[in-house]
Structure 1
Amino acid sequence: MGRGSGIGGVIIAVWLIIGVIAAGQRGYFNSDEANCAKAGTIIVTIIAGPLNYVGVNPKINCTIPQPSK
C-alpha cells in the first residue's frame, strides 16, 4: 500500500467527523424519540458530511407496518 491509501483514510475520517458535527448542529442527537426515519436522517447527514454546509438537507421518511390485530 502506498501513501495514497493513508491520505484517503484521513480524508474519509475528516469527512465523517464533519458529518457528525453537522448532525449535532441540526440537533439530531438531542431528541429521545428513536425511529427509523430519525436514524436514517442522522446516517445520511453524517455521510453527506460537508455537503450539508452548501445547502444539502437530507431527510428520510419511512413507515413500519403495524402488527395485525
Structure 2
Amino acid sequence: MGRGSSIGGVIIAIWLIIGVIAAGQRGYFDSDDANCAKAGTIVVTIIAGPLNYLGVNPKINCELPQPSK
C-alpha cells in the first residue's frame, strides 16, 4: 500500500461527492416517489460525478413486471 493508493481513494471520494452534489442540485433527493428508474438515475448521476457539469445527464428507465392477478 503506497501513497498512490491513498491519492486514488481521495480522488474517487471527491468524484463521488461531486456526483452527489449534482444529484442534489437536480432535485433527485427531494421527492418521496421512490421507484427503480429514480434510484437508477440517482446512482448513475453520482457515478458520472464531474461529467454532470460537462453536459452528461444520465437517466435510467426501467419497468418492473406486474404481478399476475
If the TM-score is normalised by the length of the shorter chain, which range does it land in?
Answer: over 0.9
The alignment's C-alpha RMSD in Å is: 0.3
Q: Distance in 2 between matches of 1:36 and 1:2?
A: 39
Return the TM-score normalized by structure 2. Answer: 0.99
CA distance in 2, matches of 1:30, 1:2: 40
Residue in 2 aligned with 1:23? 23
Per the alignment, residue 40 of structure 1 pairs with 40
Unaligned regions of 5+ residues in structure 1, if any? none
Give the aligned residue type for 1:54. Answer: L
User: What is the distance in 1 between the residues matched to 2:24 and 2:49?
Assistant: 11
SS of the residue corresponding to residue 15 of structure 1 reads helix
Q: Following TM superposition, where does structure 1 have runs of at least 4 consecutive aligned residues deviating by more than 3 angstroms?
A: none
Matched residue count: 69
Superposed CA offset, 1:28-63 (max 9, x none): 000000000000000000000000000000000000
Tell me, in whole angstroms, the C-alpha distance in 2 between the residues paired with 1:59 and 1:36: 11
1:10 corresponds to which residue? 10
